[in-house]
Amino acid sequence: MAFFAKAFGNIRRTHPIELTIDSGSIRGEYLTIGANDFAVFKGIPYAAPPVGSLRFQAPEPPAQWRGVMNATQYAPMCAQHPRNRETDPSHLYRIHISEDCLYLNVFAPPQFTNDTYPVIVFIHGGNFQSGSSADYPQDAILNNFVSRKIIFISANYRLGPIGFLSTGDSTLPGNIGLWDLILTLKWVKTNAHVFGGDANNIMLMGHGSGASAASILALSPRTDGLFHKVLLMSGTAISPGMVRDTAINATWTLDHLLQCRSFNSSELLDCFKKQLKDEILDAARTNYDDYEQFVPIVDGENGVIPEAPEILATYRPKIPIMLGTTRDESSLRLLIINEKDLNFTALDTTMAESLVENLTNGYSGFVNHPLILEGCKHEYIWTKTDPDMDSKILHDSVLKVCVKAAVVVKVGIHNNETNKNGTMKGITSTIVVPFLVIVLFERSF
């Protein structure tokens, strides 16, 4: 993620700082980068540890504590598979993982005045299977957000089967990871003023599946009044694979793989609570499609997503929203597809056709693959193979088709869910832009 590139500067720790939130006192630290001071708090619990009897349950507020809690270290990542080059090439060696992971981080300007500041709540990506609130460089956050008098809050939430199992009934209704995020937003609403934040000026922001989560929460009746605007980077609620109708079959298949042999949902839940997290995560998937099994689901009237996002978008209240994609959206996909024999300097027509075919076939949401493939070949390959042309033209054209395909499926600008200007109907007042906000995540100049 180039837009979270490090912002360089000499960091100097000055002194600790203590504040009191609704559940107790916390100790963070003042940092100085150049001429700017920042208040940084890491690993603040926003929920009770989701272990023991709270495992696979909706989150509950943390217990009050006495004394002062140290808040200077990031909390562990939520349970997930070990990282590899494909899932997370930038943070391959970050391996501290625990189910006790429901913590958030606050990066704020120093409170030398009585001013209040806008608040950003950031949701990390990772396809709802991986990722962490600690993945993004601290100095980039401080230099590019907090130095502009914006409070930046990032949070962990439960992922994969730990966060999105569902039996489709009251025993395990699903979307636990989204309930984690809702409790995060309630925490922010309650405690923003402690850090100088304006509880009436909160923006929800996310990248990839984090953007999809933010979009889902913008549509959900469970979040009314918790935030006021949304910024989506490379994802929405209607991006393919981000919301499934159900996870019932996947959950019962997992019951079989774990040899639980449950007769009802209660027995299944009891058995799952006895399993080690690695046993649950390592259970081999038996049915494959283009998307992950355990992601947000339509969970009914009392759930986070009472109806399909496309339906919710037609009648839910509108809020300001900005969405878009990065310049080379999903270009990493090309590297993964062709990682072992990558040699773009020798890219020819046959290789380009193969890459484009793999790309278009990778999205089952496309209705007519052969027609789309032929159109892509004509537009992006066959017209770029003149012997008199520079070979770089074909390379750039293949990258362009990869980017445009990703824009269609990630931002969800497809079928009849858009108007003539390319903006989504119903959901919000929408601006679709190439990411001018990228500069907020790049290095300071």
**What does the DSSP assignment read for 51-65?**
-GGGTTS---PPPP-
Encoding tokens for residue 211? 């953007």
Which residue in 30, 34, 29, 28 sits closest to 8, CA to CA?
Answer: 34
| Backbone CA torsion sign across 198, 201, 206, 212 | positive
Interatomic CA distance for residues 158 and 130, integer angstroms: 9
pLDDT at 186: 98
Tokens 């509950």, residue located: 60
Look at residue 409 and tell me whether its pLDDT is greater than 80.
no
- The helix-helix angle for 209-219 and 176-191 (nearest 10°) equals 70
Encoding tokens for residue 44? 């603040």
- Confidence category of residue 327, pLDDT binned at 50, 70, 90: low
- Pick the more confident residue, 381 or 268: 268
Interatomic CA distance for residues 198 and 149, integer angstroms: 11
Interatomic CA distance for residues 244 and 293, integer angstroms: 8
**Cβ partners under 8 Å of residue 263, min gap 6:** none
pLDDT at 112: 77
Residue pair 129/285 in contact (Cβ under 8 Å)? The answer is no
pLDDT at 416: 36
Mean pLDDT, rounded, of the chain: 82
- Residue 209 main-chain phi, psi, to 5 deg: -65, -25
Look at residue 235 and tell me whether its pLDDT is greater than 90.
no
- Confidence category of residue 38, pLDDT binned at 50, 70, 90: very high
Encoding tokens for residue 289? 């499609």
Tokens 């507020």, residue located: 61
Look at residue 439 and tell me whether its pLDDT is greater than 50.
no
**CA 172 from centre of chain:** 23
pTM listed for this prediction: 0.80
Look at residue 443 and tell me whether its pLDDT is greater than 60.
no
Beta strands at 117-123 and 151-155: parallel, antiparallel or unpaired: parallel
Return the CA Rg of the chain. 23
Look at residue 303 and tell me whether its pLDDT is greater than 60.
yes
Interatomic CA distance for residues 329 and 359, integer angstroms: 13
- Pick the more confident residue, 369 or 254: 254
Which residue in 136, 156, 137, 153 sits closest to 79, CA to CA?
Answer: 156
State the DSSP code for 81: P
Residue-wise pLDDT tens digits, 134-189: 988 898 899 889 999 999 999 999 999 999 999 999 999 999 999 999 999 999 99
Residue pair 242/295 in contact (Cβ under 8 Å)? The answer is yes
Which residue in 98, 119, 116, 106 sits closest to 46, CA to CA?
Answer: 106
> Which of 168-172, 362-366, 367-371 is modeled with the greatest confidence?
168-172
- Pick the more confident residue, 378 or 412: 378
Interatomic CA distance for residues 65 and 23, integer angstroms: 7
The average pLDDT across 5-26 equals 78
Establish how many alpha carbons lie within 13 A of residue 48's alpha carbon, considering only the half-sphere containing its beta carbon.
Answer: 14
Which residue in 285, 292, 204 sits closest to 240, CA to CA?
Answer: 292
Q: Which residues pair with 434 in a beta bridge?
A: 325
Interatomic CA distance for residues 75 and 279, integer angstroms: 22
Encoding tokens for residue 246? 């159900």
Amino acid, res. 51? V
Q: Which of 104-113, 150-159, 355-364, 381-390 has the lowest mean pLDDT?
A: 355-364
Encoding tokens for residue 196? 């100088």
pLDDT at 420: 35
Strands (DSSP E) along 208-349, which ranges? Answer: 229-233, 320-325
Look at residue 92 and tell me whether its pLDDT is greater than 90.
no
- Residue 80 main-chain phi, psi, to 5 deg: -165, 165
Distances (CA, A) of 298 to 205, 294, 302, 309, 428: 22, 12, 10, 8, 20
Interatomic CA distance for residues 48 and 53, integer angstroms: 11
Which residue in 141, 166, 186, 133 sits closest to 57, CA to CA?
Answer: 166
Encoding tokens for residue 377? 């070949």
Interatomic CA distance for residues 436 and 426, integer angstroms: 24
Look at residue 429 and tell me whether its pLDDT is greater than 70.
no
3-state secondary structure of 25: strand
Every domain of the chain with CATH number 3.40.50.1820 lies at: 2-245+292-318+433-440
pLDDT at 380: 77
Residue-wise pLDDT tens digits, 249-286: 999 999 999 999 999 999 999 999 999 999 999 886 77
- Pick the more confident residue, 129 or 96: 129
Beta strands at 36-45 and 197-207: parallel, antiparallel or unpaired: unpaired
Residue pair 107/187 in contact (Cβ under 8 Å)? The answer is no
- CATH class of the structural domain 2-245+292-318+433-440: alpha beta
- Confidence category of residue 297, pLDDT binned at 50, 70, 90: very high
Strands (DSSP E) along 208-245, which ranges? Answer: 229-233
